[in-house]
Structure 1
Amino acid sequence: MWCLVSQPNSVILEVEVDPKAKGQECLEKVCQCLGISKEADYFGLKFHSTKGEELWLNLRNPIERQVTGLPPHRFAIRVKFWVPPHLLLQDTTR
């Protein structure tokens, strides 16, 4: 299943995951592409519901049970937990 993930700088990443994949797998692939794998816990994926609400993708549940419509599904990677920069391990996370 194809997922299109927008970054804050408007660049779109294309990620392919298993159709039965959980949200965690998609987030891990995105973080791997961005070089922030060690600090992936600080980030999450957001999407728009059919009602137009902006929701966080639940990382423990299958993607297909949370989003509607046909792939490619559109997500945005966002900071979920803010951490002071001096506590971050990777420069790319900053």
Structure 2
Amino acid sequence: MRHRHGCCHEHNEPQTATPHCPHRTCPLSRAPDSRRLRICRVGGDRRFCARMAALGMLPGRELELLRGGDHCLVRLDGGTVSLDHGVSEHILVTSD
């Protein structure tokens, strides 16, 4: 399923390379701490994607992962956002 900005996909769709999503990706919750990352894909339903878009979490955007794991802490556009595990599992990132 694709929506505006190409950001919403069902969580179980197969991974394919796109301009924002190279083959080496992982969920934000599993990314290494203290890294600059690029969002390549946001999975979930329309409501979830709208919430992420309101936070600026869109494919192609860069963020800094301050702390990963169950409660990710990210810096995006000068602000800091805390995301729980359920949310961060649906945001695929790459360090490339």
TM over 0.5: no
Max radius of gyration: which structure? 1
Compare the two structures and name the one with the higher strand fraction. 2
TM-score (normalised: structure 2): 0.29
